[in-house]
């Protein structure tokens, strides 16, 4: 799929998934897209735990409601990298968007799960997956073949959000 088509087709998917496993080769391709994202000072502060084992997925589902057959758990290292500041969230977000586009391009569906990790769930997932102390589970991307056709939510028109040379236009 061409890049701009993937950008237009990418959408959050919260529907049912087909009972089809995701090929490891595809999961590797998706995560490789995340690995290639930019990061502040090239710190590459996001790492990834790819869950495709039935038993580990079942235990993950006890913490976060995920119906997909696989999931990519994004782990951030919040150690500061520039003048005492951490850019771990931005680094992670760049990796997540690259992966969402790769997921779309390969015909799978996903949703950015981050709010769903509040209330101690991120810590529970970290424990389940042996994430070292000092690192944080930030985002989970479920991955699977969608069972329904969904679309990206409507976006405001260009003219309402972007202008040339001056905020709000001339
Ligand atoms: C930082 C962030 C956190 C999000 N957390 C969640 C979440 O916990 N659960 C969820 O269902 N969607 C979550 N989303 C997805 C948004 O709800 C979704 O992107 C938005 O409604 C726009 O729809 P679209 O992705 O189809 O364009 C999150 C998105 C972002 C960027």
Task: Give the number of the atom of ligand 1 that is nearest the alpha carbon of residue 115.
Answer: 8
What does the domain layout of the chain look like in residue ranges? 3-149
For the Cβ of 113 lying below 6 angstroms from any atom of ligand 1, the answer is yes
20-49 pLDDT tens trace: 999 999 999 999 999 999 999 999 999 999
What are residue 73's DSSP bridge partners?
Answer: 49, 140
Q: How confident is the model at residue 131 (pLDDT cuts 50, 70, 90)?
A: very high
Q: Whose CA is nearest to atom 14 of ligand 1?
A: 112
Task: Give the number of the atom of ligand 1 that is nearest the alpha carbon of residue 150.
Answer: 26
Q: Does residue 170 carry a pLDDT above 80?
A: no
Give the length of the chain. 170
Q: Whose CA is nearest to atom 3 of ligand 1?
A: 114
133-165 pLDDT tens trace: 999 999 999 999 999 999 999 999 999 999 999
pLDDT at 63: 98
Mean pLDDT of the chain: 97
Whole-angstrom distance, CA of residue 74 vs CA of residue 100: 12
39, 91 in Cβ contact below 8 A? yes
Under CATH, which number does the domain 3-149 receive? 3.40.109.10
């Amino acid at each position: 799929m061409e890049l701009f088509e993937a950008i237009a087709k990418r959408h959050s998917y919260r529907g049912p998934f087909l009972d089809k496993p995701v090929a490891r080769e595809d999961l590797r391709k998706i995560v490789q897209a995340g690995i290639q994202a930019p990061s502040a000072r090239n710190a590459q502060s996001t790492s990834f735990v790819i869950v495709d084992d039935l038993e580990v997925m079942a235990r993950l589902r006890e913490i976060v409601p995920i119906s997909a057959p696989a999931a990519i758990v994004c782990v951030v290292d919040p150690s500061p990298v520039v003048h005492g500041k951490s850019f771990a969230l931005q680094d992670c977000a760049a990796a997540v968007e690259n992966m969402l586009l790769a997921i779309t391009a390969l015909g799978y569906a996903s949703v950015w799960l981050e709010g769903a990790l509040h209330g101690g769930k991120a810590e529970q997932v970290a424990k389940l997956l042996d994430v070292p102390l000092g690192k944080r589970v930030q985002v989970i991307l479920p991955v699977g073949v969608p069972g329904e056709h969904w679309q990206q939510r409507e976006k405001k028109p260009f003219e309402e959000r972007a202008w040339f040379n001056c905020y709000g236009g001339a």
